[in-house]
Structure 1
Amino acid sequence: MSGTYAYYPGCSGLGTSVEYDLSTRAICRELGIELVDIPDWSCCGSTPAHTVDHTLSCALSARNIFQAESLDVDGIITPCPSCLTNLKTASHRMQNDAFKARVERLLDGPVENRLPIMSVLQVLFETIGPAAIAEKVTEPLTGLRLAPYYGCIMNRPPEIMDFDDCENPVAMDELMTALGADVAPFPLKVECCGASFGVARKDMVMKLSGRLLDLAEDVSAHAMVTACPLCQMNLDLRQKQINSAHKAKHRMPVFYYTQLIGKALGMGEESLMLDKLIVPPSVAFRKMDEVRRSAS
């Protein structure tokens, strides 16, 4: 085993991004990472809670930390950058005793705040490592050219997230390279996609996500790969809207990195829920096969 972790799937992991949750669980099993679901976990506050009340927002995440502390685990991990931000911010802010006391008044008991909190990506990159994952690859992604997109909060602010480079992260790049894929340079890898403004300011999402898709086309990527449910939704689900708004013709699959790891490890497309992607993954895989044929 490569460690036992309290697992926080997040609300979207059981709904709109169920394929991310299932593929995460599948590759963790394969790579020897034991996930123990946090008992009776609840919403971390997502993106809006801190705009209403900072103490309540922290308490929503602190409750999950409190629940995880009942488990015999090495730390807390989550696949979702938004959940990660909230959990780590809560842990960081509770280093202030006065603030921690206000938070604990809203909870069922004191929070020890002793468990490290990490993304699944960080555990795969730092604990398992690209080289060890490469050794387990049975179906290399040779010929597949990917544009890695991290989103704007996976690594920022650096004093709280404390993982990879906040302006030029490389963890996902190196993991995809370990699978045999060709990783394209992608200068906008930490720029915002518009996030949850898809409801309030759809025009903003069309502009920002459209810019990302434009660049992915410009660097000749066959697909984009991301670690964030909200980013994936904006780039994949809204791609037709973006095309309409900007008179573009993007047909760019947007994978979760866990799905591509699973595919390279020989897991079936059905078990990774690749069929849930709006832009069919076959678009990218056909281009991958064309590259292989031309190279042979």
Structure 2
Amino acid sequence: MRYAYYPGCSLHSMEKSYDRSVKAVCKHLGVELWEIPDWVCCGASSGHSMGHLVGLAIPAKSLVKAEKEGLDVLAPCAACWQRMVWVNHEVKSDPKMKDKISKAIEEEINGTSKIFSIIDGLAAIGLDKVAQAVKKPLNGLKVASYYGCYYVKPPKVAHVDDPENPHLMDDMMKAIGAEAVDWPFKTECCGTSMIFQDVGVTVSMSKKIVEMADKAGADVIVTACPVCEMNLDMRMEQINKQFNTNYKIPVVYFTELMAYAMGSAPQEIGLDSGHCTDTKSLLAKIS
């Protein structure tokens, strides 16, 4: 299997552990990644806030390169993935918008490349194959899979299994030997979008997610969204200070646990040092 790989800005900057772990998992599973040459920022937030056409044309500049290569796209970042999915949705449903986008990027785009989230992309390989690649099963580890809101909303565009109760990330955690805990906050918003209006609201929303994961008995929270991971991970100390709590639940990418279970060393994928919340307890449990 071969994908056109779109890492996006976050995976090439603050979230390098995500980039490393995605590449490691794909290598373990025999998936070839062709990084889209000269890709540009997808324009999430800043781009589409300038106008609908601008928000579509920016990610289309990278998508059209994958189309020429005849490859489907793997976009690990939830925001990048959603912007690209929107492009395909508009191109296929609105001929006039398709022409406008093509004119804006000075190349014809047809929406022929399917856009895979990292969750869908790895699940498509098959859970059996995932399980077969495991060298160090994570037996006894209780995992809270946190999807966030980007992957499930709006349902007419985002198609990650079930918008109300997604399970593909849980299924992959089970495939590597971990226990996927049942908890009700899988798709709740972490509040990052509120940070510029009222950081107190963001901290409060994040606290509810961490609290519910803790009540479910989770040893770790895993996610596939850089925005969610950064927010929950960085705000753990802030949550404890504001609410007089003592939460120490590591927040990592689900691909980090997959890569580790498949044989990658923690330092290779950033599991040992790539996070704000200490992961020593997590590493001690899975070693």
Q: Which residue of structure 2 aligns with residue 136 of structure 1?
A: 133
Q: Which runs of 5+ in 2 are unaligned?
A: none
List per-residue Cα deviations over 1:160-180 (Å, max 9, x = no partner).
122200010000101001111
Q: Are positions 1:49 and 2:74 aligned together?
A: no
List per-residue Cα deviations over 1:42-91 (Å, max 9, x = no partner).
01111232222000110011111112222242x01111111010000011
Q: 2:279 aligns with which of 275, 278, 281?
A: 281
Give the AA of the match of 1:25.
Answer: K
Q: CA deviation at 1:287?
A: 4.6
- Contact 2:98/2:110 (<8 A) preserved: no
Q: 2:73 aligns with which of 62, 71, 76?
A: 76
Q: CA deviation at 1:288?
A: 5.4
Q: CA deviation at 1:233?
A: 0.6
Q: Which residue of structure 1 aligns with residue 108 of structure 2?
A: 110
- Contact 1:146/1:221 (<8 A) preserved: yes
SS of equivalent residue, structure 1 residue 105: helix
Give the AA of the match of 2:107.
Answer: G
Q: 1:8 aligns with which of 6, 21, 41?
A: 6
Q: Are positions 1:253 and 2:280 aligned together?
A: no
Q: CA deviation at 1:108?
A: 2.4
Greater CA deviation, 160-169 or 104-113? 104-113
Separation in 1, partners of 2:135, 2:163: 32
How many pairs does the alignment contain? 285
Q: CA deviation at 1:276?
A: 0.8
Q: 2:267 aligns with which of 248, 265, 270?
A: 270
Q: Which residue of structure 2 aligns with residue 185 of structure 1?
A: 182
Give the AA of the match of 2:87.
Answer: A
Give the AA of the match of 1:38.
Answer: I
Q: CA deviation at 1:199?
A: 3.5
Matches within 5 A, 1:109-258: 109-126=107-124, 128-258=125-255
Give the AA of the match of 1:105.
Answer: K
Separation in 2, partners of 1:72, 1:159: 25
Q: Which runs of 5+ in 1 are unaligned?
A: 290-296
Q: 1:20 aligns with which of 18, 24, 28?
A: 18
SS of equivalent residue, structure 1 residue 245: helix
Matches within 5 A, 1:28-67: 28-67=26-65
Distance 1:285 1:22, change over 3 A: closer
Separation in 2, partners of 1:286, 1:65: 41
Q: CA deviation at 1:15?
A: 0.6
List per-residue Cα deviations over 1:91-128 (Å, max 9, x = no partner).
111221111222222112111221111112102112x2
Separation in 1, partners of 2:143, 2:2: 31
Paired-residue identity, %: 34
Q: CA deviation at 1:16?
A: 1.2
Give the AA of the match of 1:62.
Answer: A
Give the AA of the match of 1:88.
Answer: V
Give the AA of the match of 1:139.
Answer: K
Q: CA deviation at 1:263?
A: 0.6
Q: CA deviation at 1:18?
A: 1.0
The TM-score with structure 1 as length reference comes to 0.93
Greater CA deviation, 37-46 or 191-200? 191-200
SS of equivalent residue, structure 2 residue 69: coil
Displaced runs of 4 or more, over 6 A:
none
Give the AA of the match of 1:140.
Answer: P
Q: CA deviation at 1:203?
A: 1.3
Q: CA deviation at 1:133?
A: 0.9
